[in-house]
Amino acid sequence: MVRDLFERIQKDDRHFNVQLIDEGAAEHRSFPNWAMAYLKPADILSGPRSEEVVRDLRKINIDSPKPGLELETFWQNVGILLTDVGYYQN
């Protein structure tokens, strides 16, 4: 089931450079509190867990390697998101 989904994502033109990082059975969940769902960006930062999201984004920033194009784009989008909901002022 997961392999079929992965193959569909690989073939989907909306995705590029899709790489398999690991394969096999897991002894435990790597992210036990994470559930997949789509949320609008503004909902993420205005919801009940908004402070947790902001804290996690700050931690990612501190732990991030030297920025490449992907990381710079990610942080640019985070800045836009935080500005739009009033967490961050340029």
**Considering its fold, how many domains does the chain have in total?**
1
Backbone φ and ψ of 50, nearest 5°: -60, -40
Tell me the pTM.
0.34
Whether 89 maps to a domain, the answer reads no
Whether 55 maps to a domain, the answer reads yes
Whether 6 maps to a domain, the answer reads yes
pLDDT bracket for residue 36 (50, 70, 90): low
pLDDT digits (tens, 9 = 90+) for 39-76: 666 777 777 777 887 788 777 777 766 767 777 787 78
Q: In this predicted model, which residue has the larger pLDDT, 66 or 23? A: 23
Q: Which domain holds residue 39?
A: 2-84
Whether 60 maps to a domain, the answer reads yes
Residue 67 has a pLDDT of: 67
CA 48 to chain centre: 18
Q: In this predicted model, which residue has the larger pLDDT, 9 or 87? A: 9
Task: Characterize 26-48 residue by residue with b for buried, 16 or more Cβ atoms within 10 angstroms of its Cβ, and e for exposed.
Answer: eeeeeeeeeeeeeeeeeeebeee
Whether 90 maps to a domain, the answer reads no
Whether 65 maps to a domain, the answer reads yes
